[in-house]
A and B are shown apart, each in its own frame.
Chain A
Amino acid sequence: MSTNQILDEIIKGTERINSKACTLNRSLLLALCYYFIDGIQFRELKTALNISDGKLSSNLKALTKVDYLKEEETVMDKKKIKYFSITKNGKKELEKIINWIELIKELLEEDKNETKL
């Protein structure tokens, strides 16, 4: 791909990505739930992200509302716990974000190659 084509793709990609998913915390939540396919408990996410309950709840709610994550409940050691896992739509969205970042990487590498010449 030429530099112009890469730039075009980056711009198109930006339009394709749901801005509701592409904040740092939300992208990270999607990535964690993609990797930990078993699902992650609320308390584990809170420790991992080191953010307040409120902030985490609102981010999870936003991702659940657009059907990128699903929330389930189970009982562990007689206590109710909530856990979150990624949906098919969530996976697709994360892949869009990853492709977009890859394109940016490609663009910057192209720039590096030109500098070498």
Chain B
Amino acid sequence: MKPSYKKIIAILKYLGFSIERSDSPDISFNSRFKIQKIAYLCKGLGIELYHKFTIRVHGPYSHVLAQDYYNFPEAIVNLETDYILNESERQIANKIKENVLDHYIAKDYETEFLEAVSTIVYLKEENPEFSDDDIFATVKNMKSHLKEYMIITSNNIAKELLFKPEFLTDEIRKELDMWDNIN
């Protein structure tokens, strides 16, 4: 098993992800779908993975990751791995859990929410110059089944996920304080 696959299993285990089984292949369509999106979110937020993801058609999707879980289904079904996440990887996993998996929308629409957030993170990484309107139009065009509120909420979540502490300048901090102090 490749180290990146072991790492993905370790992340899923850390997140408490439960994999639905099916007869053939061993992992259900829903679980495979979610694994792909979570794995991409990890990569998009900075966890080093060798898997390359594409956004087209079924994306974010990695063909190599799919081959990994078709070739070694037992490892992922039983969440068996000897990889130990480091502190920064755990922080990223926590960010995904708090902002996405534990979000109230995920209670009823976990797959769509994961799909929307991971797609937007991908688009933002590939096109840093994209405005909110560009993101909305592109996602609507690519994934017409996603409702408007889903795209807008997911875009806000993607911004939170991609926000780095160094972005918080004194000027922004002052403005945030000002907003907080408005009664």
Contact = CB atoms under 8 A, between A and B. Distances in A.
* A and B associate in one complex: yes
A28 to B, nearest CB: 11
A74 B57 contact: no
A78 interface: yes
B29 A47 contact: no
A47 B142 contact: yes
Interface residues of A, number: 20
A65 B70 CA distance: 26
B109 interface: yes
Contacts of A74: 28-30
A38 B33 contact: yes
A94 B67 CA distance: 19
Interface in B29-83: 29-30, 32-33, 36, 56-58, 61, 63, 66-67, 70
A76 interface: yes
A44 B115 CA distance: 12
Contact of B57 (A40, A76, A77): A40
Interface in A90-114: none
Chain B interface mostly: helix
B63 A37 contact: yes
A38 B110 CA distance: 18
Contact of B110 (A35, A36, A45, A77): A77
A6 to B, nearest CB: 31
A32 B29 contact: no
Which bucket holds chain B's interface residue count? 20 to 34
Contact of A48 (B56, B61, B108): B56
B26 interface: no
Contacts of B112: 76-77
A76 B111 contact: yes
Contact of B58 (A40, A72, A76, A78): A40
A83 B61 contact: no
Nearest to A35: B63
Nearest to B145: A43
B21 interface: no
Interface string B112-147: 100000000000000000000000000001111100
Interface of A: 32, 35-41, 43-45, 47-48, 72, 74-78, 83
Interface of B: 28-30, 32-33, 36, 56-58, 61, 63, 66-67, 70, 108-112, 141-145
